[in-house]
Structure 1
Amino acid sequence: MRSLSEIETVSKRASRAAGFSWGEAEEIGKNIRLLELFGLPGIKNLNLFLSEKKNNIFENLNLILETNKSNKNHFCPISTGISFLDQIDNLKDKIISINNIAYPILFIPFLSRSSEIIGKRIKLKFNQTQIILNFNVNIYSDYNFSDLILKGEDVEISFLENTDTFSEDEWKNLYKLSEDTFVEESESLKQGGAGAGLTDND
């Protein structure tokens, strides 16, 4: 089994050889590492994408709006992802739609990393598939990613508000139970606490 470090390095070098700048290749390397860490087919998708890139033109999406439509070609998942990551502070309260994006699996890590930056979960929908990205810690979907998705039609990105999974009563009940561990502060505890004691050696 290949190590994550090896996956990142080879993905970065292969992307540079395919015409991406070193900076872009660095981002790709990190992303393929992340996909493989989460058990998603990053290497497989990158291989196909770089092979297709030789003969096809993908459209760059530099400025992301709420509605983004390609004129002719599919959007490049790398340039779109980098733009999204760079512009995340301006996008975090909007619903973003992108009508066509190539190899959407390669776009997923950019959203995952964005989720960590803004501290919000992100929901991604495309081709009847829904994915929840949780603060760059994990990715949840009921889709079987062994079925390769080459193009993402009608992609929608939304940001989920942070909410507790428990009620206020449940929290109060647990907090009350935790109070049994509290120790009442005594004079001896005060003297043994942090800070200067009864004698000062300075």
Structure 2
Amino acid sequence: MSHSLNEIEAMSKRAARGAGLSWGLAEEAAKGTRWLSAFGFPGTEMLAELLTLNDRVPPIDVSPVSLGADVWHAPARRMSPLIAGASLSDCAVRLLERGTITMENVTLPLLAVPFMGGAALRLGVPVCAEWNGARLATDGRQLCVQGDPEALRAAQADQLVFSAPAEMTGKREPVMRAEVCEDSWTTLGSFAHRTFAPATEESRLLGAGAGLSDND
């Protein structure tokens, strides 16, 4: 099934919030899912998989223990790519100063890549991510992709290495609409439904229609 990028972003934002992410991180997750979908990646599928995997898991368990460490790792021995990506963006200047930032055991590493765009724009130089034979680089506007498709869609990266500045090789052209897996769309819809407030007696009385009265 085909969806516009606007539809993908809106659904992803609501689903991420329904899964317990803060509004800020939910917005970033939605923008990232849209960005990946625009470049032909299964963004919605990967987001649905991540939200399902981390459902009810305290964010601190899948967050970096220390951003000042040589290698970042999480208490749960698997790091959320959304939290890892947001942390990378916050540490953009440190990335340029050090040249690289390495993270261990990152789930669905491709979901961390969109956060490189913001870092690249702030730094004014391209940023690169590498794992399991995959390499992606962006200057914040264009995306360059190298590596086997299976590596690009890896379920987990033992090591995810970000570096800056990076070379831009293998440019991929964006699209305006994306093909979306129906199952992943349904999963995102289930998470999004959690954001809807349950009906109360008062809301029913104030809503449209007859309320509790009988007009027959």
Q: TM-score, normalised by structure 1?
A: 0.72
Q: What's the CA shift for 1:25? A: 0.7
Q: Deviation per CA, 1:157-202, whole angstroms, max 9, x where unpaired? A: 1112689xxxxxxxxxxxxxxxxxxxxxxxxxxxxxxxxxxxxxxx
Q: How does 1:152-167 map to 2 (within 5 A)?
A: 152-160=157-165
1:151 aligns with one of 138, 142, 156: 156
The alpha-carbon deviation at position 37 of structure 1 amounts to: 0.8
| Counterpart position of 2:178 | none
- Higher-Rg member (1/2): 1
- Structure 1 residue 50 corresponds to structure 2 residue 55: no
AA at the equivalent of 1:158: S
- 2:78 alignment partner in structure 1: 74
Where in structure 2 are the equivalents of 1:56-67 lying within 5 Å?
58-61=61-64, 63-65=66-68, 66-67=70-71
- Equivalent residues of 1:63, 1:83 under 8 A apart: no
Query: In structure 2, the residue corresponding to 1:114 is in which secondary structure?
Result: helix
Change (3 A) 1:70 1:31: same
Measured against aligned partners, the alpha-carbon deviations of 1:124-173 in whole angstroms (never above 9, x if no partner) come to 1111222222333223223325973110111111112689xxxxxxxxxx
Measure the CA separation in 2 of the matches of 1:17 and 1:56.
13
SS in 2 for 1:92: helix
Tell me how far apart the structure 2 counterparts of residues 5 and 79 of structure 1 sit (CA, whole Å): 23
Contact 2:88/2:115, CA 8 A, preserved across alignment:
yes
Asked if the contact 1:102/1:152 (under 8 Å) is kept, the reply is yes
Aligned residues of 2:63 and 2:74 also touching (Cα < 8 A): no
2:64/2:73 contact within 8 Å kept: no
Count how many residue pairs are aligned between Structure 1 and Structure 2: 163
Q: Which blocks of at least 5 consecutive residues in structure 2 are unaligned?
A: 169-216
Q: Which amino acid aligns with 2:110?
A: I
1:71 and 1:28, CA in 2 relative to 1: closer, same or farther beyond 3 A?
Answer: closer
What percent of counterpart residues are identical? 25
Instruction: Check conservation: 2:103, 2:159, Cα contact below 8 A.
Output: yes
Q: Which moved more, 1:51-60 or 1:101-110?
A: 51-60
Structure 1 match to 2:140 = 135
Match for residue 171 of structure 1?
none
Q: Which amino acid aligns with 1:88?
A: A
Counterpart Cα distance in 2 of 1:112 and 1:130: 14
SS in 2 for 1:93: helix
Partner of 1:34: 35
- Aligned Cα root-mean-square deviation (Å): 2.3
1:105 pairs, out of 82, 101, 110, with: 110
Does residue 117 of the first structure (1) align with residue 114 of the second (2)? no
Answering whether residue 21 of structure 2 is matched by residue 20 of structure 1, we say yes
TM-score (norm 2): 0.68
CA positional deviation for 1:20: 0.6
Q: Tell me which of the two structures has the higher relative contact order, counting C-alpha pairs closer than 8 angstroms and 6 or more residues apart.
A: 2
- Distance of aligned partners of 1:146 and 1:69 in 2 relative to their CA distance in 1, 3 Å threshold: closer
Q: 2:164 is paired with a residue of what secondary structure? A: strand
| Deviation at residue 44 of structure 1 after TM alignment | 0.8
